[in-house]
Structure 1
C-alpha cells in the first residue's frame, strides 16, 4: 500500500498550486505598491525603502499564508465542513482570514512597522485571494479532480475520441432499501455509501464520472496492463472497505450494503455539452454495453462481470478466478458479447 492515499496526494497537489499562486501574488502586490509609490500624486517612498526587500517581504507573506492558510483550507475546512453549503464555507473562511489579517495589520501599523492604510489594503487584497481560492477548491470538488481544469483549458471544446474502461456499480435491492428507510434516511444512506467508496476508487486511479440514483459510474484511462487491472481491484477494495464499516451501517441503517458491477472497455467520444450548465460527457456503445453487463449480474447471481474484451486488455490476472458465462446477445444489441465472472482467489 502507498504511504499516502491518492486523495492525500491530490490534496498535496492542490496545496502546491496554492503555494505557487500565493507566492506569485505576493510579488505582484509588491510590484503594484512600487508603481503606486512612484506616481505623480504619491508622497514618495519611505526612508530605507527597497523594491527587492518589499518583494521578498510580500512573497514571504504569500508563502507563509499558503503554507498555513492553504493547509487549513485543503486539509481541514474542506474535509470537516463538506456537508456545509459552498457559500457558508467561502464566507466564513473569508471573514476569519480578513479579521486576522486586519488585526495583524493594525498592530503592525500602531507599532510603526508599516503604513496602516497600505497594510489594511493588503489585508483586503489577501482576503479576496482567500475567497477566490476557496471558491476554486469548491468548484473543483464539484466537477471532480482535474475535470474543472479541463473545462477551463477548453480541452473538450472539440469532441475527442478516447479509449476508456468503465464500471457501472449498483447497490443491490435498492428499491426495497428505499421503502424501508424512507426518503430522508435513504438519501443519508446513499450519501454515506458514495462517500465511503471514494477513497478505494481514487486509490485505484478511478474517476467518478457520475452518480445516477443508487448507481455510480467510474472511468479509467487506458494505460499499461497493471494500471488497467486496477478496475478489477477497485471493486474488491470497495467491498472490503464497506465490510470493514459494517458496524457503522448496522447501527445507522440496520444492514450492510452489497452491490454488483459490470466492467467493459472501448472507444468513446468525450466532449463538452450544455449551455446553462456545462459538463464533460462520454458517448458511445461502450457505455450502453457496460450498463447491460451490469444488468446481467442479477440473472447469473454474480457480483462482478466483465467482458472478454476487457480481460484481454488486462493481461494475466493472477489474483482472480474467472468463470466464462458464455457469449450472450445483450438486450438491444446484435453482436454477442462474451461475459466472464470474476472472484478473488481464496
Structure 2
C-alpha cells in the first residue's frame, strides 16, 4: 500500500484536524480540548484516508466511476459511515482511558466532521489536479516573473496508439491512455517528479535538476514505470488486448519558467532543453531503443547498478546548433521485475521536495 501523503503533509493534516476538534470543544463546551482532538482525528482522518486511496481503494474506484449524482450520494454515504465508525472508536478509546465518551455522534457532530474534512479534501483535489509542485508554486507566486533554472525533463510516449484507435475507437483509446498515464503517477510521485503536461499520447514529466540526479531518481522513475506496466501485463492483455509499449527520453539543462494565463494559469517551461528532449524521444524510433538519455545529463549522475548504457554517438538534432551525444539505457542482465528488486535494494532516501 502506497501512502499518498508526504510525512510533512501528514503531520500538518493531523495538526489541522486536531486543532479544529480542540476549537470546536472549547467553543461549544468551554473545555475538553483533548477529547475534542481525539474525536476530530478519529472522525475525520478516515475520510481523508479514503480520499487519498489509502483505505478501501476498490470502493473508491467504483464510486468515482459513477455518474455525478451517484458519485455525490455514494461519497456522502461513505463519509457518514466512516465518521460513525471513527466516532465510536474514539468513544471506546476514551472510555478505556477513563474519560467520559459518547459512542454515537449527533447530527451536529456529523456535520462538523464534514465541515472540517470538506475544505481539506477540496485543497487536496486541487493540488492533485495541478500536481504538488505547480500547486505550491502558484500559491507562492514564484514564477510570476520569469525565472531561469535547471530542470530535467522526461518525455514518455505510448507507441502504437494510432493503430489501437483504429481497432477499438476513440473512446476505448482514451480509456487506455488514461490507464497508462495513471500507472505513471505513483513512480513519478515516489521519485519526486511532477507530471507537467499530457500531449496526445505522451506525458511530460519534470524535476528540479538536483532532485532528478540525486541517486539517479529520474532514471529509476523510468524503469519503475516500465516495471509497473510489465507487472500488470496479464490485466492489460485481458482488458485491452495488448501490453502498452512505451518510449522514453531524458535530458536536462537550463530553461526559463514562467506563470502564464489570465483565466487559467499555468507554469510553462521555455527553452532549448524542452525542445531537445522532444527530439531525443523521436530518436527512439530511429534507433529502435526504448529509453534514451543525453550524454549531457548522463555524465552528471551515477547509473543505478541494474542499468546499462549504450553509446549511440553524436547526433544531429533539428533546430539545435550543435550535435547531441545520445545513450540508450536498458536493464543489464535482469528482467524488469529483477530491476525493480535491485532498485529497491539500492534505493536511498531522496532529498525532501
Q: TM-score, normalised by structure 1?
A: 0.78
- Aligned to 1:197, the other structure's residue is in SS state helix
Q: Does 1:343 align with 2:338?
A: no
1:87: how far off?
8.2
Give the equivalent residue in structure 2 for 1:297.
284
Segment drifting more, 148-157 vs 93-102 = 93-102
1:24 to 14, 19, 38: 19
2:40 corresponds to 1:62: yes
Is 1:15–1:70's contact at 8 Å kept on the other side of the alignment? no
1-structure distance, mates of 2:208, 2:65: 30
Kindly tell me the number of residue pairs found equivalent between the two proteins. 315
Label 1:127 to 1:344 Cα distance change in 2 as closer, same or farther (>3 A).
closer
1:90 and 1:271 mapped to 2: Cα distance? 37
Give the CA RMSD over aligned residues: 3.3
Per-residue deviation, 1:138: 1.7
Question: Are 1:278 and 2:273 counterparts?
Answer: no
C-alpha contact (below 8 Å) 1:273/1:280 kept by paired residues? yes
Whether the aligned pair in 1 keeps the contact of 2:192 and 2:211 (CA below 8 Å) is no
> Separation in 1 of the partners of 2:307 and 2:107?
63
Q: Supply the distance in 2 between the matched residues of 1:243 and 1:121 (Cα, whole angstroms).
A: 49
Superposed CA deviations along residues 35-56 of structure 1, whole A, max 9, x for unmatched, are xxxxxxxxxxxxxxxx3x3333
Q: Distance in 1 between matches of 2:128 and 2:322?
A: 39
Gaps of 5+ in 2: 92-99, 334-353
Contact persistence 1:264–1:289 (CA under 8 A):
yes
Alignment of 1:76-155 (within 5 A): 76=55, 79-80=60-61, 81-83=63-65, 92-94=74-76, 97=79, 123-155=110-142
CA offset digits 1:4-26 (Å, max 9, x no partner) = 7xx51526655433321111122
Larger Rg: 1
Question: Structure 1: where are the runs of 5+ without partners?
Answer: 35-50
Residues 273 and 279 of structure 1 are in contact (CA less than 8 Å); yes or no, is this contact kept in structure 2? yes
**Secondary structure of the residue that 1:313 maps to in structure 2?**
coil
Report the TM-score, using the length of structure 2 for normalisation.
0.77
- Structure 2 Cα separation of the partners of residues 13 and 226 of structure 1: 23
- 8 Å CA contact 2:19–2:37 kept in 1: the answer is yes
Give the conservation status (yes or no) of the 8 Å contact 2:193–2:212. no
Does the 8 A contact of 2:44 with 2:117 survive in 1? no
